[in-house]
A and B are shown apart, each in its own frame.
Chain A
Amino acid sequence: MEKMSYYSFVAAAIAVGLAFVLYLMHVLSGLRAARMQSAGTGTTTGTLGLFMGSRTATFGRYGSILGWLGFAFLTAWLVFRTIATGHGPFANMYEFSVAFAWGILGVYYWFERGYQQRVLGLLVLPIALGLMLYAATIPATIEPLVPALQNNLLLTVHVAVAIVAYGAFAIAFGAALLFLLQPSGPRWGLPKPAVLDEIGYKAVVIGFPFMAAVLVLGALWADVAWGRYWGWDPKETASLVTWLIYATYLHARVVRGWTGRRAAVLLLIGFAATLFTYFGNYFFSGLHSYGGLG
């Protein structure tokens, strides 16, 4: 099973890598077509996303297929690794990084189905790919669990929920970045700011309750293992800060003067906090420190 999971991981990395190349070609060809068209007739984009020439569409379609394939391979990795370890594969940095990539791809494809904004994919696929390449550089051995982690149910649920939340926040980050690239209305045939604003909001609307569930499940586990549901452990606190930043965003989105740019900036800060929480195991001295490379 460990072997199978390894092959799935490699296959997923290759598929996502190729998907990224196709997305790049798709976007380049789409942007060029948009520029040529705007030079000719003055219209820039379709209602959703890039102007679709036939070549652009082909690149996009095959890119998506490969991305889906990558997601499927990562799902296989999850399954094999779960069978091999007896719990969700979230016990060390290697497992968590691959799972994070899975979360990003999963949430991204959920949005691609609805919105067809592959430019966004061009931003978030590298994040997933980066996490996978990073995972490839750190030890992947399956090690038995230290006492604090010996709770297969909570380990699996707590971290699985975290991965979906983090994935959603990554998508919101990508959308916010594209939003901020167009400070004065639609540009270069990129997705329209209004659409990006909506994608960012929709992603947070998924991520925010999931992050609440991460905090609650973490509190539940802390209560069972450590005897208190909250102890201001650095990782606990960092997760709470992340959640609060997204809470701020949700309020900002309906306050005059905070919509648009400021809200988008909050999404960037929120994702920085997410990454800080995620990599926190390295530099926090607290109770979550076992999650490192060991």
Chain B
Amino acid sequence: MRKVVKKQVLLQGNEACVEGALMAGCRFYAGYPITPATEIMEIMAEKMPETGGVFIQMEDEIASLGAVIGASLAGMKSMTATSGPGFSLMQEHIGFAGMAEVPCVIVDVMRAGPSTGLPTQLSQGDVMQARWGTHGDHPIIVLAPSSVYEFFELTVQAFNLSERYRTPVILLVDEVVAHMREGVILPAKNSLEIEERPHPTVPPEWYIPYADPGTGVPPMPAFGDGYRYHVTGLYHDVRGYPTVRTDEVEPLIHRLFTKISKDFDRLQWFDAFETEDARVTVIAYGCVARAAHRAVRQAREKGLKVGLIKLKILWPFMRRTISGILANSQKVLVPELNVGQISREVKRVNESRCEVVTLNKVDGTPIKPAEILQKLGEIYS
């Protein structure tokens, strides 16, 4: 039998994202050029026509996510990619997609902000914006890859989660992961589990668009499938019509939250490294987790009992996982390329169980392994 050699390819993070989107079944891209996310759009401009999909360059980011939402309602798996300033413009639509339960994937390749900031440099400053950027209480799913392969893998998962929960999913990527090139072996087509949005099984006249089928996620027909369907960003009743009735408003917002929160157990995505006996645990994500990994290895060589938790999912925050870490460590170190965004969340979950130490850098350059190692040495006792 002929041995099948898996082919390794050299990919840039942004290229891997496109590969992931294609594998997940994304066939609609609408976007607007912005550094450092532009490559995703440029590659999509070529790949979409090749694969029978649609690529549209819109006039701005507001329009980009608008088109993505429209295409998703028409039945297409859709995405857009942007960076900080464009992500800010998209916020109102993110809220709409959450409220109207329209699956869509938004890639935010973070650059240092606020405002135009450092367009070509590095940051993790959009963590809280991804969580709370749009107004009002809303659930959101935010994934954070730290390698080129992970960017591929999490892009596929972003589509899966988006379809499964009928919710916008944000891929929060830093500029290093987006622009770095690594050798990756992409899985064969059809080897990954690809999820599709639940489709109504009842005849159109029986269909109630926003009735909870028990999972919290109502089935979703595409426009043109024959189902009458009223979509709005207003609070709506189970039939989709606007409502201000208190017995309809509150159940809706609760359902939007619980359709995701009931699955918190399934949404604990992390990599643990040397955490079993760790006295100090580093909690990191994105490119900082790479530096932290090396720092932890070097610290172990020196005999320090330290470990690393690499977060792959930022929101909903993995309270269960992190609580376990906090209970078993004397100290945790949270290095971040912002003034302290995930560390705030760690402190909130910590409830003063152990000491939470931060290491923040906001000058547009990466945190080096040596810096984390030094900090580990300082706080280790």
Q: Do A and B belong to a common assembly?
A: no
- Using a CB–CB cutoff of 8 Å, the interface residues on chain A facing chain B are none
- Using a CB–CB cutoff of 8 Å, the interface residues on chain B facing chain A are none
